[in-house]
Amino acid sequence: MSELPEDRGLVSPVADADERVIESALRPKTLDDFIGQSRVREQLSLVLQSALRRGRAPDHVLMSGGPGLGKTTLALIIAAELGAPLRISSGPAIERAGDLAAVLSTLQEGEVLFLDEIHRMARPAEEMLYVAMEDFRVDVMVGKGPGATAIPLDIAPFTLVGATTRAGLLPAPLRDRFGFVAHMDFYEPPELERILHRSAGLLGVGLPAEAAAEIARRSRGTPRIANRLLRRVRDYAEVRAGGEVTRELTRAALALYEVDDEGLDRLDRAVLGALMRKFGGGPVGLSTLAVSVGEEPETVEVVAEPFLVRAGLLARTPRGRVATPAAWEHMGLTPPPDAMFPGNTLFDQSVINDTAGGGMEDR
């Protein structure tokens, strides 16, 4: 089979849709099939079994954690375990209280409503949700100005499943109305290997243990990334090796897709490279760092930084972002004599002085 050109980087809408179908097919359908998050699974199982025995809708569920850890999958599983219909929406889609009222008023009894990124919901809708969650009622405003009247409208008992990547942005009144709050942790490599073997079976890909370990090690503790890398390895194997996956082929495929031995991708290395080569390792503000790599500050803060901080390659300080000794080593660079990083006396004293003086970094 001839090799495909290296520059085929554009993805058609049809191909993108196929990827979503494949990703959906890889999702586990029951709690028993769900790998990892053992404590959350056990707690959630008790909540659901108790509700089924009582013949009532279970308490509202809030799940927090980074992207790709299984929050949407668990929402689908909750509906399946209850044998209930599932309605899916998201916080950004609910811009007005009327948008939420339209959704709530059409819910069936026992239906599960999944709101992704619930922390981004508009404040008026959020306040309406308080009453809906607690009393299964919405107050619809009729008229404007002094003559406006609130008409209470009863809604069917339902279960709200909220998901958020930033639990700290949720107001306390909303958070307190959830009967069960679960925090999703990052996965350990052995758990990711189990997920990869399951996914490989569904995709019809022969995946040796050493190849699975290679992918798991580079997946940043995230099943979504692990499955995405598995599909790219499969593509590489089909085009260049007749479909046979080996450890060496896996390493070659991941190198082609710019995923290094520690799971850093192009953006991660660009951020670290700019921080070291252009700013001597920092400290440097987020906005300045983002401009230097041609990205929006939010992209750097939300996409790259969480993993870099968790991997011990980046530190966030009152004065800005700082590369750690491990980052210099990983990038194969030598820090300048006056480089500041955690553990360095100059750095530690600078942080103390900035904190005492209320110094804030440039965003």
- Known catalytic residues? 71-72, 116, 165, 224
- How far apart CA 353 and CA 31 sit, in angstroms, is 50
Token output for 220? 């940043």
> Taking a C-beta distance cutoff of 8 angstroms, is the pair 258, 335 a contact?
no
Token output for 10? 């554009």
Q: Among 259, 207, 198, 261, which residue's Cα sits nearest to residue 234?
A: 207
How many degrees, rounded to 5, is the angle at CA 225 between CA 220 and CA 230?
Answer: 115
Coil, strand or helix at 23: helix
- How far apart CA 220 and CA 172 sit, in angstroms, is 31
DSSP H helices, 204-341, are 209-217, 223-240, 247-256, 266-277, 286-292, 297-299, 305-310, 325-330
